[in-house]
Structure 1
């Protein structure tokens, strides 16, 4: 009987030791997985940051291209308007001179 009680006590101690070992192993596993998850989250955050920065660079480049194109178009349009104005001015001056010659015989 004494021997049976001793075996039961030893078995209970082994069970408690196995339980502590399993809890320690689970804690270690949980910490390991949390660190892995944190690493993945950090990596994804960095990737999102890089993607956003790349998109910002592309949008700025497109905006600059559009601005340059619009400036070129505005400059071209202004030059055409000035040329038309000069042409009409010259025509008006010529017309006035012709009318003066016709009216006053100069």
Structure 2
């Protein structure tokens, strides 16, 4: 009987040790998985940053291209307006000279 009780006690101690070891293993596994999750979140965060940077760079390049095109168009419009102004100015001067000759007989 004493021997049976000793075996039971030893088996309980062994089970207790196995239970503690299992809890430690579970804690270790949980820490590892938490670290893996953190690493994956950091990678995803960096990927998002990289994607946003690429998108921003592309949009800035498009904006610069559009600004250049608009500047060229504005210069062309200014040149055309200057040409129209000069032509109309000459026509107006000619009209005034013609009217002055008609009115004053010069």
Query: Which TM-score applies when normalising by structure 1?
Result: 0.91
Moved over 6 A (4+): none
> For the residues of structure 2 that align with 1:100 and 1:30, how far apart are their CA atoms?
101
Q: Which residue of 1 aligns with 2:88?
A: 88
State the Cα distance separating 1:92 from its structure 2 match.
Answer: 1.5
Which is further off, 59-68 or 36-45?
Answer: 59-68
Q: Which residue of 2 aligns with 1:3?
A: 3
> For the residues of structure 1 that align with 2:4 and 2:100, how far apart are their CA atoms?
140
2:14 maps to 1:14:
yes
Q: Which residue of 2 aligns with 1:44?
A: 44
* Cα RMSD, aligned residues only: 1.4
> For the residues of structure 2 that align with 1:68 and 1:25, how far apart are their CA atoms?
64
In structure 1, stretches of 5+ residues that fail to align are none
For residues 17-67 of structure 1, what are the alpha-carbon distances to aligned partners after superposition, in whole Å with 9 as ceiling and x for unaligned?
100110111011001100000000000000011111111111111111121
Query: Which TM-score applies when normalising by structure 2?
Result: 0.91
Q: Which residue of 2 aligns with 1:26?
A: 26
